[in-house]
Structure 1
């Protein structure tokens, strides 16, 4: 790499969360623990662990040696981690109390030590909250969890996802919002700069690799989810890995970008038309763009999120749309340390919008192909912050018309 290439690379500093912010997160958790009659909280999943502990490591702890955090109803939190990890945490986090085991030890990867700590520190009738509910995952093998459960009886585990983890993480702090705003801004710039560099005859992989480069040189940390599909007159699904398919006249390319900055996500897409769009694709894009506008306008504090779904659904099912709303199941979600997070923009989710929530507005429509009348999908996504008065856009709004790719010089 030439010296001038290094000069193009932007590295954005990671401003650390304050110790006070972590203390406030623990205190809010304890308030909810008291409200829902929990004696302790056992944190095991990667994203909940990062929420409470400033774990800046990039090791995928979900699939290697586990890490546990015990938050009792009072007193100090205790990290139960493999030997060596405690030294890293002493230097980089606010945690000061540790219990360790020598690992890796696949036959007993923290099971005995965790059970010992729970038996020593908690009363026999303790009710311990952990990740057992909707859209949650334990950060340990299921068999190991059952072994711990049996070893600590009559103490019991109960779901803390719905009553504690989800409501805690649903409202983002100003520092969390700054991270999400940063990554959304970077990816927006990358998307905005991409179309002028594309040409007919490129492959899906070439386009997506170029897009990732645009993201990296602007300061994203990782690009773990770059989904892409394409097709003549439209695409049929929102999921796909970019292939060596050559993009030619009439193809519509969908890129969905999940990128990270300091472990916080962006997740939104853009559509690119190679050559002039056909009438059906053009109309579908406009319908979904309009539905996005309606969805953003519907976001206000105090409004149930199902009303946002209804506003977009009404427009997409209206007479001005050649197609109909899709049956994907929802038209948006939240995000933060993970993507996606609850709540969901769907008709049966009555979560009340509150300032500090992040909402991905994601309407989609099914429309008939101009070429053979087969069903095609058009999807669009923007990210907004719920404020005291409405919604603040964190992504740069997609163009009102589809971005065109030609081989003409600019």
Structure 2
């Protein structure tokens, strides 16, 4: 079982450093501030962590000024928790209030910037959302004539791509928990178990191993392989000749692991063994290519070259891995279109996939951190041959 002595949360210096790095980049781009609205971005700069984000009823706002600490504009229900953070300026309203859900407070905060015709940033790009009603956003902008709204997607995502030592410790911890959970599968799963029960058993085991939650557990099982990896489980029992795959995103202290494992039930055939071997070697190629100076495209090409031994389409799922951290999937993407340059302390998934046989597919995934000269595994490496349960 993974050690349980790792401290939760971060020291104030962690948030000070994040904010100062953001403010240095903001200065380069002529930004007077940034308005953040989504859970991971608000948490990144404040440390505010709560499951209350699951409710769509209330919006939450964090403003990062050009200098000084961020300012929270949040529903009163979150005030006590936010006061435990490093922030001092916390402005609240009684929510929900559909006629004025924080808009007056935001207008008051941003009016001086509008009068100065200042430029502030919001997240507009890929993998971002406007986490407030569009009508409220339109009302806010109408109340702030002269305010210049810029896109800070690249700024924030660029900061979050590179992890601190403290973040890597948390990611390593949850990956160890995930590895320990996968190691238990041959002991707690067996022929005849319904796939629904496989999923439930896996979740229980993950919690027993020390995960805070198992919000993402997907997989499949069928004769010789599977046809997709995102469908809900059914009552179909595991049968001899099945290939079982489980993919999980477990969390600990707000950070995710994300990797999968494959097993054969009772026996396996040559096609499944061959697919597994190709993917295992493609994963090795991706890990070897994950070093500073290479691009995500380089990782994609390294894996694709091995996958092409069996499947020239490369599985056709768009990418072969991604960033990892406070979200199950983060930027960047290991894809032909992504030329993001890898740097030390990026945490990534290596996730090759391929198609084989009569419409079957297989996926293989590991979690790594990019080091000064080479990558280091955070997940325990899968067996080089398809394991049989």
TM-score per shorter chain, which class? over 0.9
Q: What is the distance in 2 between the residues matched to 1:14 and 1:179?
A: 9
* Residue 359 (structure 1) aligns with: 348
Q: Which runs of 5+ in 2 are unaligned?
A: none
Q: What is the distance in 1 between the residues matched to 2:55 and 2:165?
A: 28
Shift of the alpha carbon at 1:184? 0.5
Shift of the alpha carbon at 1:76? 3.9
* Residue 302 (structure 1) aligns with: 293
Q: Secondary structure at the match of 1:235?
A: coil
Shift of the alpha carbon at 1:172? 0.3
* Residue 402 (structure 1) aligns with: 386
Q: Secondary structure at the match of 1:108?
A: coil
Q: Secondary structure at the match of 1:158?
A: strand
* Residue 191 (structure 2) aligns with: 200
Q: Is this contact kept in 2: 1:324–1:367, CA < 8 A?
A: no
TM-score by length of 2: 0.96
Q: What is the distance in 1 between the residues matched to 2:253 and 2:301?
A: 34
Shift of the alpha carbon at 1:11? 6.2
Q: What is the distance in 2 between the residues matched to 1:64 and 1:174?
A: 35
Match of 1:131 among 123, 145, 160: 123
TM-score by length of 1: 0.91
* Residue 350 (structure 1) aligns with: 339
Shift of the alpha carbon at 1:75? 3.5
Question: 1:69-218, aligned counterparts within 5 Å?
Answer: 69-90=62-83, 92-120=84-112, 123-162=115-154, 164-218=155-209
Q: What is the distance in 1 between the residues matched to 2:347 and 2:51?
A: 24
CA deviations 1:4-61 (Å, max 9, x no partner) are xxxx999665432111110111111111111112111111110000100111322116
Q: Is this contact kept in 1: 2:259–2:365, CA < 8 A?
A: yes
Q: What is the distance in 1 between the residues matched to 2:69 and 2:289?
A: 43
Count of residue correspondences: 389
Task: Report the RMSD for the aligned CA atoms in angstroms.
Answer: 1.8
Distance 1:217 1:73, change over 3 A: same
Q: What is the distance in 2 between the residues matched to 1:16 and 1:76?
A: 18
CA deviations 1:336-363 (Å, max 9, x no partner) are 0112111100112111110010110000
Q: Is this contact kept in 2: 1:12–1:219, CA < 8 A?
A: no
Distance 1:43 1:397, change over 3 A: same
CA deviations 1:368-401 (Å, max 9, x no partner) are 1xxxxx2110110001000001000000011111
Q: Is this contact kept in 2: 1:333–1:344, CA < 8 A?
A: yes
